[in-house]
Amino acid sequence: MLNFYRLPQDFLKFSGSERLDLINRLSTNGVNTLEKFHSVKTVLTSDKGRFIDLLQLYSLGETVFCTCSFQNSANVISHLEKYTIMDDFTAEDLSGTHETILFLGDDTSAFINKITGVDIAALTENSFTVTSDHDAIIQLNDDAFGGVKFIFAVNDKEYWSEKLFADENSSEFGLKELSASEFETKRIELGIPKFGAEMSELTNPLECGINKYVSFTKGCYIGQEVIARLDAYDKISKHLVGLKIKSPNKIDLSSAGKITVDSKECGFVTSAAYSDAFGSIALGFVKTIFLDYDKNYIIKNNESGLECTITRLPFTQ
C-alpha cells in the first residue's frame, strides 16, 4: 500500500543577488552556499531564539523557492522585511499557487519512477530534481516520516492529478489518502514537532530536538547568542517528550494543559491523539530539572488529573 497526504503549506519566492546572504544572517542554518537543485531547512528565530518559522529552501539558480508553515507566509515576509535595509532582496508570497503531496510507503520509489521516470535512489537528503514536464519538485523527505515530497503548481493540478491518481496506479500501488487526523496521530507517534504547537514563541529549536537544522559554526544570526549559550552551557530549560496516559480507555485530551509531578508544575501539553498502537498519547515539554523517565506525571485535563509516564521520542512499544 502507498499512502499519501496533502501537506498544508505556504510558499514563497526569494530573489535578488543577496537572497541567500540575507536568509543566512537571519536563520539558524548555513544557507549562503546553497547550490542549484539543492535544498536546506533553516529556522527563522526571534532575538530571543524563539520560532518565527521553519523554512525549507530550494535553490533554482537565480531564485529560491521556499516552503513555510500554513498561513504563516505573511508573518515570515514581515520578519524578513524588518531586517532588509539596503539588501538586494525581494520576498514574494506564492501561497495558494502550489501544492505539496507527501508519498509514504515501500513502493514510493517504483511509483515515482513510473510516473516521472525519476530514480529517487539517485537523490541525496539535500538535493531535489524538477520533472521535465510541468515542473514538479521531487525530493526525499528528511523527517521521521520519510517518503517523498512532490510539489507542483496549482495551474498543473489537473495534469498531475490524472498522472498520479489514475485508476491503474490506484490498483497497482494501493493508493490511500491519509486523513488529517491519521496524519496527526502518526506525527505525534514519531515525535515530529509542528509549527503552532511544539514550535512556537514559547520554544526554541534545541528544546524541540531539531538541532540538525542549527549550525553552531556559521557565525551570527538573529537569536544566535541565545541558542549558542544554551548549547555551550547545557542550559536547555525544557525538552520535548512523549506522554503516555496510564489508562486503557480512549481519552479526549483536547483540553489537556499543564503537566505536574509531585504536585509541582513542570511542563505543558502541546499535541494529543489516540493511537491504536500506544493508546492516548501526547507531546509536551517538561522542564529539565523535572525530567525522570521512571516517574509518574499528572496531566491536567479539564478539572481532572490524568496519570501518565513520559518517554523519549519516537514512541516505541
70-82 confidence digits (pLDDT tens)? 999 999 999 999 9
* DSSP structure class, residue 122: G
What is the rounded distance in angstroms from the CA atom of residue 35 to the CA atom of residue 28?
Answer: 18
Domain shared by 34 and 151, yes or no: yes
Q: Report residue 248 CA to chain centroid gap.
A: 30
Give the residue from 138, 164, 190 where a domain finishes.
164
Q: How many CB atoms lie within 10 A of CB 315?
A: 19
User: Where are any strands of DSSP class E within 154-255?
Assistant: 175-177, 238-245
Domain shared by 16 and 159, yes or no: yes
Nearest to 24 by CA among 51, 38, 43: 43
Q: What is the DSSP string of 252-300?
A: --TTEEEEEETTEEEEEEEEEEEETTTEEEEEEEEEGGG--TTSEEEEE
Taking a C-beta distance cutoff of 8 angstroms, is the pair 307, 281 a contact? no
CATH code of the domain in which 221 resides: 2.40.30.110
Residue 179 falls within a domain, yes or no? no
Residue 169 falls within a domain, yes or no? no
Residue 184 falls within a domain, yes or no? no
Q: Please state whether beta strands 264-275 and 279-287 pair in parallel, antiparallel, or not at all (unpaired).
A: antiparallel
CA dihedral 5, 7, 13, 18 (to 10 degrees): -100
Residue 271 falls within a domain, yes or no? yes
Residue 180 falls within a domain, yes or no? no
Domain shared by 24 and 125, yes or no: yes
Domain shared by 31 and 141, yes or no: yes
pLDDT at 159: 98
Domain shared by 154 and 213, yes or no: no
Residue 73 falls within a domain, yes or no? yes
CATH code of the domain in which 54 resides: 3.30.1360.120
Handedness of CA 193, 42, 126, 84 (dihedral sign): positive
Nearest to 142 by CA among 252, 30, 41, 72: 41
Taking a C-beta distance cutoff of 8 angstroms, is the pair 73, 10 a contact? yes
What is the rounded distance in angstroms from the CA atom of residue 174 to the CA atom of residue 158?
Answer: 21
Cell numbers placing 133 = 514536464
Long-range contacts of 205-212 (CB under 8 A, 24+ apart): 205/28, 205/43, 205/45, 205/49, 205/51, 206/230, 206/231, 206/236, 207/236, 207/237, 207/238, 207/239, 207/240, 207/285, 208/240, 209/239, 209/240, 209/313, 210/43, 210/54
Q: What range does the domain containing 240 cover?
A: 198-311
Domain shared by 157 and 206, yes or no: no
Each residue of 258-301: pLDDT tens digit? 999 999 999 999 999 999 999 999 999 999 999 999 999 999 98
* DSSP structure class, residue 193: -
pLDDT at 208: 99
Give the residue from 111, 140, 164 where a domain finishes.
164
What's the number of domains the chain is made of? 2
Each residue of 1-11: pLDDT tens digit? 999 999 999 99
Domain shared by 266 and 140, yes or no: no
Class of residue 303 by CB neighbours under 10 A (exposed 0-12, middle 13-18, buried 19+): exposed
Question: pLDDT tens digits for the chain (317 residues)?
Answer: 999 999 999 999 999 999 999 999 999 999 999 999 999 999 999 999 999 999 999 999 999 999 999 999 999 999 999 999 999 999 999 999 999 999 999 999 999 999 999 999 999 989 999 999 999 999 999 999 999 999 999 999 999 999 999 999 999 999 999 999 999 999 999 999 999 999 999 999 999 999 999 999 999 999 999 999 999 989 999 999 999 999 888 888 888 899 999 999 999 999 999 999 999 999 999 999 999 999 999 999 887 899 999 999 999 97
Residue 218 falls within a domain, yes or no? yes
Nearest to 261 by CA among 290, 289, 240: 290
pLDDT at 77: 99
Domain shared by 250 and 113, yes or no: no
pLDDT at 255: 82
Taking a C-beta distance cutoff of 8 angstroms, is the pair 95, 11 a contact? yes
Taking a C-beta distance cutoff of 8 angstroms, is the pair 28, 213 a contact? yes
| Omega cis (within 30) before 8 | no
Quick check: helix, strand or coil at residue 140?
A: strand
Domain shared by 219 and 276, yes or no: yes
Domain shared by 31 and 152, yes or no: yes
User: pLDDT over 90 for what percent of the chain?
Assistant: 94
Domain shared by 4 and 151, yes or no: yes
Domain shared by 275 and 216, yes or no: yes
For the entire predicted model, the pTM comes to 0.96
Quick check: helix, strand or coil at residue 19?
A: helix
Residue 177 falls within a domain, yes or no? no
